[in-house]
Every structure is written in structure tokens, then in C-alpha cells.
Amino acid sequence: MDNQPFIEFRHVSKFYGRGEATIRALDHVNLAISKGEFVSIMGPSGSGKSTAMNIVGGLDVPSSGEYLFQGIPTANFTRTQLTLLRRHMLGFVFQGFNLLARTSAIENVELPLVYRGLPARERRKLAQQALEQVGLQGRESHTTQELSGGQQQRVAIARAIVTDPAVLLADEPTGNLDTKTSREIMDLISRLNRERNITVIMVTHEEDIAAYGRRLLRFVDGRLASDESHVREARHVP
């Protein structure tokens, strides 16, 4: 069991449309990701990288083939079971932050815990801890409009990790940020991967951002074109 992939695709294909209008978003993709890996995914528009991410996140399902999570085939999962998978095992970070406007940072971070039904006092404590982990202590009461882009993304990351997920799915997490802030966000994600052993799967179109991962998957025309491992030079992260 220890050698079993944490996340696995077996001949996964995804089709949209019918007949001559059929779009093959994924074409018999095989891949395996181990617990604690940091995997970057790249590819041109329409290559299938976002479709693969959506399937891993339980937001979409394969047309054929198998997607296994911790060795369990997800094909027969009900909508409720997929929701529970997302709620208890996965954290999501998006390019657009997706924070609630005119709502404080700590209230944004508490939101996933509300869905879990945790008491208010416990929610507040866990949200406070998550904000401290991303370096936003003292900003708890600030609303979205009062935070910079980098701070908003830190709130989004705190919201993603407050449930202690096994997997962090990051879709273009630095797409709306300047170079300096992008590095800070990527250093933060790298630290969470190392210190908390969170499996990170990140979609990006930027080579320098992809280099933060220790493995790079490249998609082309719905297929996994290459699977490269590399070691990034260690950096000091405060």
C-alpha cells in the first residue's frame, strides 16, 4: 500500500460534444502522483491541462478510463461523495482569488469550516492559525478591498489549507501578480509542501513558476507529452 500512487489516471479520456463536433480534451492519459509531491502542469491552450486538474479536483469526471484517489476508483462516487472528497481532502487556489467582497480576511478563511459545520469558536481559532501560517497576522479584520493582490492570494491560500487538505490544487496562482509577489506566493506554497507534506498540483503557463515544482508534466493535444523530474536549487524561505 505504501508504494501505491496517491493520485492515479488509468487511460483517462474526456470528450465534449458529439459526432463531428466532438472535442477530445484528454486522450488516454496515464499518470501517477505520490503523496507529498509538488507537480507542475504546463501546456498550450486546449492541451488538456485544466481538464486534468478539474478531474483531480472532482469538478469533472472522465468519459472513459479510471481516476483513483488513494487507490480508490472514483467512477462510482455519487455527487455527495465527490463533494465530500473536495471538502475534506482537497484545497483550491485560483488565479482570481475568489474571495467574498466586503468580507474580512478571517471570515473568508472560515468559510470552508462553515460548510463542515464547525462551531464558531473553533472556526475562528483555525482560521487565525491559517492566516498566521501565510504571514497575515494583524490583517484578520481587513476586507478584500483593503488588501493588496499578494495579500488577497495569501488569504485564498489560507482558506485552502484551513481544512488541512491532503492535496492543494493551484490553477495559475500567480497569474494576476507581479514578479516579486509571485515569488513570495510560490515560496509560501513550496514551504507548505515541504513542512506540511501537502501534495501540490499546479497549472501554470510560466516556466519560472513551473520550476518551483519537482516534477513537470507537459500536455499537448489532450495527451501527456512529457514527464520530467528536476530538483530546484534550495532557497531560504523566511
pLDDT tops 80 at residue 237: no
Domain containing residue 152: CATH number? 3.40.50.300
**116, part of any domain:** yes
- How many domains are contained in the chain? 1
| Averaged pLDDT for residues 67-74 | 95
Taking CA atoms, 222 is separated from 60, 202, 218, in Å, by 15, 17, 10
Confirm whether 88 is domain-assigned.
yes
pLDDT value of position 235: 46
Q: Is residue 68 part of a domain?
A: no
**Residue 120 lies inside a defined structural domain of this protein:** yes
DSSP secondary structure letter of residue 145: G
Q: What is the mean pLDDT of the chain?
A: 92
Q: What is the pLDDT of residue 141?
A: 96
The CA distance from 37 to 70, in Å, is: 14
Query: How are beta strands 199-203 and 38-42 bridged, if at all?
Result: parallel
Strand, helix or coil for residue 224: strand
Instruction: Average the pLDDT over 57-72 and give the result.
Output: 95
Q: Rounded CA gap, 18 and 11, in Å? A: 20
Q: Is residue 56 part of a domain?
A: no
The grid coordinates of residue 24 equal: 477530445
Entry pTM: 0.91
Element housing 93 (H / E): strand 90-94
Could you give the strand order of the β-sheet that contains 64-69, starting from the edge strand earlier in sequence? 23-33, 7-16, 64-69, 72-73
pLDDT on residue 191: 95
- Does the residue 6 lie in any domain? no
Structural domain for 109, as ranges? 37-46+80-229
**Residue 17 included in any domain:** no
| pLDDT greater than 60 at residue 67 | yes
Residue 5 lies in a domain: no
